[in-house]
Structure 1
């Protein structure tokens, strides 16, 4: 009798072990790949990583230049002219503020960004009227290599000089933006205001301000359309009209700050992952091996712990990538103060924002993103951001004259 009981317990233990081994074998390759990739990058020197980032950037630039060479300049310009004339009020205007990077003139950030927007806008079927323009704020505009290359192919305006494409609005008070500024943050804010006010003249429902090193992802416009329809509606739903309208939505936030942290929303995410793992293991164990309630709970708890450990080792950034499966799975949350690479504005409050920014003082403690966040709080307006990001930041070399950034943040194709 004792022998039978021992055999039975042994059989139960082997089934328990088998369940865990099968699940671990399923999850282990994902973990090993992530860790090997991370370890491989850690073994490389900063110089090697920068060289690799430059190679990846050159490959993207080559592809963008090939696109430009195949583009008919007059046909490309006429696409935007017809759109502007056919739609008295647009749905979306994309403004790309740009300035040359001292000592790094042939990086081609603007070319990559503008070409990607051109591709997306010309094949988009969601937004009605849409427009884009390059906003060159360089004090010597013709010395900005990218902008000089693109101005014949895409709508273009510049702060200094008078080279502006047909259909792009001209500002009467441009002299206010041309005056000198005390520091680089004040200059950056002034340039941003010029491009934002120019976009405002189109009388569009939304303005997307995308810096020249913010590369849009393929799913940008599709996801953005469903987001806007959900938030306040391009539709005429009464339910969406009753919602409090947002002021802005940030479409990029640095990946290194998107990990798990001691913050309530992210702790809730971890609890959800544990609950999912618990339920999955409980279902698998009870379905495959009909055992007691106690045994099922033990296996499910171990499974939940396994999912928790795996999530922490992989990192939240990789887990969030699963949300790209559908445009409806993206998260919308209250926006942090940082940053400005890609921001979507509702035009209703943009004039007030410009007035607020024009009255501020800017130094190392109050750059543009902090000033925008201050306005949002002062005016009690809703500022949001999306996860995962709809843009990639490709600017390892800053336009503010700072040294190269950590190259590990720019390793993508």
Structure 2
């Protein structure tokens, strides 16, 4: 009797192994089709995917980025030519004179140095201003959002793009005139104003420029200030997602009444090249979670596509493991940056998390943070990168800073305002349109 039971178990296990081998062969075939045919076809045009790098040998990224930039400049020019400049200025000045401004947007701009004479106008601030003006007039922010150009060029008259925009948007020049009244901005711990201060190098000037525009925006007494550098173009989702975050993410729901959370800033852009999967706990867990979904899908397919016997259930782990590996490999090869794009399906899917230190293309500040932050930035003993100095302020004050993913701004500044030359062109070939 015992021998018969043992024999039946051996036969059953042998049948299970043969069944698993057959199914593993099917999975192997699917693996080859997916990773060597389907994914290369789907992903060869997606920046930051593994297949984009393989298929990019024949692509001139420099030329591609230049062509896309020229198309956006064309659309931005059309946007402003279809507007009435006098009407636009009256609209913004009426908001600037109001006492209940919700948001002030400062577009910080400077000429790009080191460019050839014939290519000096890159149209960056033109694109940014068109996108911001469209955002400011969206249903969520209309009649309570003030936008101004903050020209911090040491020779403001030579910044032709900024001068063109003065016809449509309020402006202020750190070393020149202004279209609205604002008191002289004094530096802390001294009698100097911002425009009287001489700087050791371009990095120190950049930090003081940023502080100056923050102070100007704060002088209007808005509830929030959005600092946008002149090479950051808003995404179409900015209005709805930002409103949702201000209404739900940045309030303390533990209180009986809605109380605003205290925060240093909300980062709306972080470089895509650093948004991939990495050897850090949150992103490693994110990758494993994709694998768990794949394992569940694999087990479900096993139940649906093949006759299932309860005695074969121990092999469910093997199917789960196969699905897990395939999904994790797929996610890694497609790239976290491209998977994040799926979150744009709804404002509720955007990821709200603690912010890293880098980068200032688009950042939202509560007004209460401006005075202590600008004091800190303008009293540093030695020049530092503006973004790192801001992050040091956050760590010292222990006031949390947040970030939204995916980005709500596109970074178009392939050529640095610090004159450090062109950045990697393949990071600037995203296709999008100016609203």
Give the TM-score normalised by structure 2.
Answer: 0.85
Give the alignment of 1:291-330 within 5 angstroms: 291=308, 292-330=312-350
The within-5 A match list for 1:13-412 is 14=22, 17-18=25-26, 29-35=38-44, 36-44=51-59, 48-85=60-97, 87-104=98-115, 105-125=120-140, 129-162=144-177, 164-166=178-180, 169-173=182-186, 176-178=193-195, 179-233=197-251, 238=256, 240-241=258-259, 244-291=261-308, 292-363=312-383, 366-412=384-430
Change in 2 beyond 3 A, CA 1:9/1:304: closer
Residue deviations 1:275-295, cap 9 Å, x none?
111111212221333413134
Q: Structure 1 residues 189 and 7, CA, compared in 2 at 3 Å: closer, same or farther?
A: closer
1:242-276 deviations in Å (ceiling 9; x for gaps): x7421101111111111111101011101111111
Change (3 A) 1:316 1:172: closer
Stretch moving more, 13-22 or 104-113: 13-22
Provide the secondary structure at the position in 2 that maps to 1:246. Answer: coil
The SS at the match of 1:344 is: strand
Structure-2 change in CA distance of 1:362 and 1:223 (3 Å): farther
Deviation of the 1:9 alpha carbon: 7.6
Structure 1: tracts of 5 or more residues without a match: none
Could you report, residue by residue, the CA deviation over 1:186-240 in whole angstroms, capped at 9, with x for unpaired residues? 1111111110000001111111101000111111121111111122349997365
| Alpha carbons 1:230, 1:240 under 8 Å: kept | no
CA contact (8 A) 2:138 2:239 kept: no
Equivalent residues of 2:266, 2:402 under 8 A apart? yes
How far does the alpha carbon of each residue in 1:34-64 deviate from its partner, in whole angstroms, 9 at most, with x for none? Answer: 24533232444xxx32222111111110110
- Computing the radius of gyration from Cα coordinates, the structure with the larger value is 2
Runs of 4+ in 1 over 4 A off after TM superposition: 4-28, 234-237
In the alignment, structure 2 segments of 5+ residues that lack a partner are: 1-7, 45-50
1:134/1:288 Cα in 2 relative to 1: closer, same or farther (>3 Å)? same
Seen in structure 2, the aligned counterparts of structure 1 residues 81 and 238 have a Cα distance that, compared at 3 Å, is farther
Alpha-carbon shift at residue 404 of structure 1 (Å): 1.0
Q: Is the 8 A contact 1:232 1:240 kept in 2?
A: no
8 Å CA contact 1:169–1:202 kept in 2: the answer is no
Distance across 1 between alignment mates of 2:16 and 2:395: 65
Secondary structure, counterpart of 1:226 in structure 2: helix
SS in 2 for 1:132: strand
CA contact (8 A) 2:252 2:258 kept: no
| Whole-Å separation in 2 of the counterparts to 1:226 and 1:236 | 18
Would you say how many aligned residue pairs link Structure 1 and Structure 2? 402
Structure 2 CA distance for aligned equivalents of residues 328 and 34 of structure 1: 26
Give the TM-score of the pair, scaled to structure 1: 0.89
